[in-house]
Amino acid sequence: MKKLLCLLLAGALAFSVAACGNGAQDSEAAEAADTSDTAETGEAEDAAEETAEEDGQNILIAYFSWSGNTEALAGMIQSETGGELFEIEPAEPYTEDYDALLDQAQQEQQENARPELAAQVENWDSYDVVFVGYPNWWSDAPMAVLSFLEFYDCTGKVIVPFNTSGGGGFGNSLASIEESAAGAEILEGFTVAGDNVSGAQADVSEWISGLGLELAQ
């Protein structure tokens, strides 16, 4: 009888120990899973923050260029900012004859014309900052540039003008840009004589550095 009782007690003790062991293992597994989930969540959040820092502001570099000088300047800006290039082109191209071009540009200004454009930016809303470049025509921006700005809702955008000229700088164009880009914040622009564009990279870099933009890293 005593032997039987001892055997029963031993069996109960062994079962209890096994149950405790399994419970401890289950608890450790649960804690490990929780730790793993927490680590993965933290890593995901860190990765998202790093991506946001690397992405910076979405930048568009829109430009109108007749002689190629403004196009070259736009390329320098792209090399500094990583922005997307977009060429502003009228549906009916301007003449290649310089004297005839001057007459056409002056007539458009007198009529306050808004030439139809060949293409539009498909994802305008995705851009935070828009650089807008153009040559100085009769102390103002070409009317095609104003057509471009007025086609979109510029509210909340940051507009950064840049300009090439024969020596007249921005002329009266900044007032036109501000009026056509209603609701936008206009930052300090950059202007350079057309003959000096090829050597302007260092000046462009310094100008952009002073704008306080959030550039992609």
pLDDT in tens, 113-159: 999 999 999 999 999 999 999 999 999 999 999 999 999 999 999 99
Model-level pTM? Answer: 0.75
26 has pLDDT over 60: no
Is residue 36 located within the same domain as residue 136?
no
Question: Cα 10 to chain center, whole Å?
Answer: 74
Q: Is residue 216 a part of any domain in this protein?
A: no
**pLDDT band, residue 49 (cuts 50/70/90):** very low
64 has pLDDT over 60: yes
Domain around 118: 57-209
What is the CATH number for 73? 3.40.50.360
Nearest Cα to Cα of residue 168 among 137, 211, 209, 145: 137
pLDDT at 14: 41
Averaged pLDDT score across all residues of the chain: 83
pLDDT at 55: 64
Is residue 126 located within the same domain as residue 45?
no
Looking at the structure of the chain, the number of domains it has is 2
pLDDT at 43: 52
Is residue 39 located within the same domain as residue 69?
no
58 has pLDDT over 50: yes
Give the residue-averaged pLDDT of 196-217.
94
Structure tokens at 146: 């104003």
Percent of the chain with pLDDT over 90: 72
pLDDT in tens, 101-123: 999 999 999 999 999 999 999 99
Domain boundary among 55, 76, 100: 55
Q: Is the dihedral of CA 104, 89, 73, 198 positive or negative?
A: negative
Q: Residue 210 class from Cβ within 10 Å (0-12 exposed, 13-18 middle, 19+ buried)?
A: exposed
pLDDT at 216: 75
pLDDT at 54: 55
Is residue 122 located within the same domain as residue 200?
yes
Q: Tell me the one-letter amino acid at 60.
A: L
Give the residue-averaged pLDDT of 163-183.
96
197 against 42, higher pLDDT: 197
